[in-house]
């Protein structure tokens, strides 16, 4: 199978699954939401067609069963209940597992028969309950024993007293076709737009997969054979047809049960649980595709043309030893590469909804599991971030949300006793602030217990009692980011607030961002992430320490001074700026490097107060330059004081400092 088509199929399926999940959540919260129901049915139908067209029959069968169940709900024949929605969600989860297998292996080994049978069983039981057991004129019971045609059309569909509409059997052929399944699907959908389709032979899924010989049969609800005949004659993709009125045969009780009928009545009393793989923790994989605006592609193409032209001019200038011409060409190249950089950075920007689109389902499932009523809202999902940043923050955001649901929002009873509404509220909000994006997760739960955090900090030796007394509440709240720190009395599946929060802090810091917590006891908690919109290309200040060179991001630097004003206070070297004390960090000691200076010589790089109130001592300050920063990987990942590496023009590798974790 062509990798290009498979990749497009996978990306489209992932988007469809996310859309299906969110539309199902809308329907669950408001069963009368016809717009959500239409979206659900349309998406399920698309998934079924795509799976069938790509030859993944197991997923197509599952999507078909879900489509039929959803159609019953759409027609009002089946009530939207939490239990029924759980089953539908389980089906969606299994489809998601199948898509993941296809992406990894090119095929799926997941068996869907059990889930399909469970969906069909619920479908049949629901239809029977809605239809009742009225008796027709011929005395036959309108129940499981009703007679069917070869395709499974039941006499329960026919009123023996007065048949305003007739049941017409139409044998359809789409002729010779290289895409039999697709043409058949288009023919069926076109016919469906004119008549109600009561049943088919073979099944609808088989027809749309092209699994039949010369023709297939549809049972239509129409006024008479002549009308159906005339309509089919103008239906696209229908090559030939034969229409027969079979109403009388059905009413008189003729006809035989068939395999198709058996299939439609197949049920399962095993009470099987949804696929365990589908119950794994929701996670967001690496974003592997982006949608690029055509104008951006045109801009990129134009810049590449300019780049090629400048390269030719540069080579000629060098060959002729024409320094003036070469200098002008280099200036041109500076402008072209700057524009190229901006264009590529813009192309890497992806809306936040690419990641947070799966979170409503996560919150819903956790709330159901914990017997809590929670409303979840997302604001600013169109805010854009670099692809790498968006991929990296998905898990931290998931940690924060899980903790908000588990330990932030109280049970309905506790909320009621506290004078709150039984339903808790969680909001994920994103906003743009110049070259940064602020993402907040706010809940109206119990809030953090500042006294409990202080006690736990003393118990775990995180801070001394004296240090804690000197800290304001905001600083105390930030202690939840300390590794292994948790105020939860009991560790649950979703873990206490604090478990995993160190991961949040480390990940955000590596992305050159920051994270903070604000809380009000009894009112709720807000966790804020401040992240750069783009990364990779950073302007840095190069500093020398012994025989090593390091890069300090320029945006973190406030001032460069000599060491004359440094003083010793309680054994700690500090400098004073605007009546604030800045401790001095000696980089040679931090990285165990033998320095070239002594006796207070060297330079001090004072860091912006908003980042960290410190000054870095180095031997010398060299220059400024834009570099491409690569994050640390493997065993070096998470090394305190380092955010990544950069390769310079001469091939040397320079470590980029992380001033927050130094």
Q: Global pTM?
A: 0.53
Domain of 69, CATH number, reads 1.20.120.160
Q: What is the CATH number of the domain that holds 223?
A: 3.30.70.1110
Q: How confident is the model at residue 412 (pLDDT cuts 50, 70, 90)?
A: very high
Contact 645, 632 (CB under 8 A): yes
Domain shared by 405 and 517, yes or no = yes
Q: What is the mean pLDDT of the chain?
A: 77
pLDDT grade for 637, boundaries at 50, 70 and 90: low
Let me know if residue 283 belongs to a domain.
no
- Same domain assignment for residues 525 and 542: no
Asked whether residue 130 is assigned to any structural domain, the reply reads no
For the ranges 125-139, 195-209, 514-528, 555-569, the lowest mean pLDDT is seen at: 125-139
For residue 332, being part of any structural domain is answered with: yes
* For the chain, the helix, strand and coil percentages under 3-state DSSP, each to the nearest 5: 45, 20, 35
Pair 328, 360 in one domain: no
Q: What is the CATH number of the domain that holds 505?
A: 3.30.565.10
Confidence class of residue 242 from pLDDT cuts 50, 70 and 90? confident
Q: Are residues 375 and 518 in the same domain?
A: yes
The last residue of a domain, from among 96, 125, 154: 125
Give CA separation, 274 vs 13, 88, 91, 166, in Å.
20, 10, 8, 41
**pLDDT reading at 218 higher than 70:** yes
- Structural domain for 652, as ranges: 537-657
Decide if pLDDT at 404 tops 60: yes
Last residue of a domain, one of 229, 246, 263: 246
Strand partners for 576: 581
Give the tens place of pLDDT for each residue, 466-493.
888 888 888 888 888 776 565 444 434 4
Residues 334 and 358 in one domain: no
**479 and 543 both lie in a single domain:** no
* pLDDT value of residue 427: 94
Clarify whether residues 506 and 581 are in a common domain: no
Whether residue 186 sits in one domain with residue 303: no
- Is residue 263 one of the residues assigned to a domain? no
Residue 652 has pLDDT above 90, yes or no: no
Verify that 477 and 622 share a domain, yes or no.
Answer: no
Report how far residue 210's alpha carbon sits from residue 184's, in angstroms, rounded to the nearest whole number.
7
Mean pLDDT of 139-150: 38
CA dist., res. 251 & res. 449, Å (int)? 72
Q: Rounded mean pLDDT of 276-302? A: 63
The rounded distance, in Å, linking the Cα atoms of 551 and 542 is 5
302 and 206 belong to one structural domain = no
Q: For residue 378, is it within any domain? A: yes
Q: At residue 579, what are phi and psi to the nearest 5 degrees?
A: 65, 15
Distance CA 412, CA 420 (A): 9
Domain CATH code at residue 629? 2.40.50.180
CB atoms within 10 A of CB 493: 10
593 CB contacts (<8 Å, ≥6 apart)? 545, 546, 547, 548, 587
Whether residue 42 is found in the same domain as residue 114: yes
Q: For residue 567, which phi and psi values (nearest 5 degrees)?
A: -135, 160
Rg of the chain taking only CA atoms, in angstroms: 33
Domain C-terminal end among 312, 329, 347:
347
What are 349's strand-pairing partners?
Answer: 386
- Residue 288 forms part of a structural domain: no
158 within domain boundaries: no
Residues 94 and 192 reside in one and the same domain: no
Note the pLDDT tens digit of each residue in 350-388.
888 888 888 888 898 888 888 999 999 999 888 888 888
- CA dist 332 and 336 (Å) reads 6
Q: What percent of the chain has pLDDT over 70?
A: 81
Total number of domains in the chain:
5
Token couple for 311: 């390269």
502, pLDDT greater than 80: no
Q: Is residue 199 part of a domain?
A: yes
């Amino acid at each position: 199978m062509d990798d290009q088509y498979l990749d497009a199929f996978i990306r489209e399926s992932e988007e469809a699954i996310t859309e299906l999940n969110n539309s199902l959540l809308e329907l669950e919260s408001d069963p009368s939401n016809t717009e959500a129901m239409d979206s659900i049915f349309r998406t399920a139908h698309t998934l079924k067609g795509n799976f069938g067209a790509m030859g993944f029959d197991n997923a197509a069968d599952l999507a078909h069963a879900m489509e039929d169940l959803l159609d019953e709900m759409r027609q009002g024949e089946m009530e939207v209940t939490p239990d029924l929605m759980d089953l539908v969600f389980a089906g969606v989860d299994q489809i998601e597992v199948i898509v993941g297998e296809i992406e990894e292996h090119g095929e799926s080994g997941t068996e869907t028969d059990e889930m399909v049978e469970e969906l069909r069983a619920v479908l049949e039981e629901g239809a029977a309950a809605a239809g009742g057991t009225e008796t027709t004129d011929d005395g036959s019971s309108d129940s499981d024993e009703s007679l069917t045609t070869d395709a499974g059309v039941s006499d329960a569909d026919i009123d023996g007293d007065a048949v305003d509409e007739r049941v017409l059997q139409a044998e359809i052929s789409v002729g010779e076709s290289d895409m039999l399944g697709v043409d058949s699907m288009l023919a069926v959908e076109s016919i469906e737009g004119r008549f109600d389709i009561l049943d088919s032979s073979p099944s609808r899924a088989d027809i749309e997969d092209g699994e039949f010989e010369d023709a297939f049969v549809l049972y239509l609800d129409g006024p008479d054979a002549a009308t159906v005949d005339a309509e089919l004659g103008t239906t696209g993709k229908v090559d030939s047809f034969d229409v027969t009125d079979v109403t009388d045969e059905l009413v008189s009780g003729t006809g035989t049960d068939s395999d198709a009928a058996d299939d439609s009545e197949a049920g399962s009393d095993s009470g099987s649980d949804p696929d365990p793989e589908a119950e794994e923790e929701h996670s967001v994989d690496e974003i592997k595709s982006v949608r690029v605006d055509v104008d951006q592609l045109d801009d990129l193409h134009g810049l590449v043309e300019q780049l090629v032209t400048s390269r030719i001019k540069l080579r000629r200038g060098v060959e002729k030893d024409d320094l003036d011409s070469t200098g002008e060409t280099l200036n041109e190249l500076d402008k072209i590469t700057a524009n190229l950089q901006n264009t590529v950075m813009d192309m890497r920007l992806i809306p936040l909804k690419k990641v947070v689109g799966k979170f409503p389902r996560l919150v819903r499932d956790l709330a159901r599991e914990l017997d809590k009523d929670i409303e979840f809202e997302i604001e600013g999902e169109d805010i854009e971030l670099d692809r790498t940043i968006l991929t990296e923050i998905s898990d931290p955001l998931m940690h924060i949300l899980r903790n908000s649901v588990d330990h932030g929002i109280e049970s309905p009873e506790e909320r009621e006793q506290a004078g709150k509404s039984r339903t808790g509220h969680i909001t994920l909000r994103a906003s743009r602030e110049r070259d940064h994006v602020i993402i907040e997760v706010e809940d109206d739960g119990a809030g953090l217990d500042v006294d409990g955090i202080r006690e736990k900090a003393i118990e775990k030796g995180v801070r001394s009692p004296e240090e804690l007394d000197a800290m304001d509440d905001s600083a105390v709240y930030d202690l939840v980011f300390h590794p292994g720190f948790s105020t939860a009395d009991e560790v649950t599946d979703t873990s206490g607030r604090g478990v995993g929060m160190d991961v949040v802090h480390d990940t955000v810091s590596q992305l050159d961002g920051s994270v903070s917590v604000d809380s009000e006891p009894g009112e709720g908690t807000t966790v804020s992430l401040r992240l750069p919109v783009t990364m990779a290309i950073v302007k840095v200040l190069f500093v020398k320490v012994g025989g090593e060179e390091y890069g300090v991001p320029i945006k973190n630097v406030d001032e460069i001074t000599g060491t004359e004003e440094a003083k010793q206070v309680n054994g700690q070297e500090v400098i004073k700026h605007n009546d604030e004390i800045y401790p001095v960090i000696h980089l040679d000691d931090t990285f165990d490097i033998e320095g070239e200076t002594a006796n207070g010589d060297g330079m001090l790089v004072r860091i912006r107060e908003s980042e960290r109130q410190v000054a870095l001592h180095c031997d010398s300050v060299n220059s400024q330059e834009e570099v491409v920063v690569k994050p640390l990987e493997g065993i070096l990942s998470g090394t305190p004081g380092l955010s990544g590496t950069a390769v310079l023009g001469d091939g040397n590798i320079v470590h980029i400092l992380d001033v927050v974790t130094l």
